[in-house]
Structure 1
Amino acid sequence: MIIDAYKRLWPNRQAVQRITTDAELENSVRIELNDELTHPRLRKSVEEKLQLAYRRIEESELSEDEKTALIELYKKLAAH
């Protein structure tokens, strides 16, 4: 369920569409939170990326359960 929700959150990202396991999902979220795909001088902080993710999730058309599950995943991974 959460993998499908994440895929719907990022429909145009090919790497996201290939996710099939929870470990791959967590790795993708970590990469996003650490802004690893952005040039080092332009990277945002984890806190900024977390707020952007929250906003994207809340504004999405996902169900409330899916939104809650994704937000909890982001919180958990941002804390590490």
Structure 2
Amino acid sequence: MQAIDQIVNSAGKTYYMSGGNVPCPVVFRGPNGAASGVAAQHSQDYAAWYGSIPGLKVVIPWSAEDCKGLLKSAIR
């Protein structure tokens, strides 16, 4: 959550604030969900919230193969 301002107000809105002249292609990758040995603040999933922010696209892979393909496509 420390970088939420930069994600929402910079990455998500740059294209719109520039009138479509400045694209902001960037890939954020982060783990979400419960896992063994992580504290409560690291087990939250913000994917639905990020998906509601104009300018951001969210993908959630199902498997390792999906993850590899989606990540490669996003970086291109």
Report the TM-score range of the alignment, normalised by the length of the smaller protein. Answer: 0.3 to 0.5
TM-score (norm 2): 0.33
Larger CA Rg, structure 1 vs 2: 2
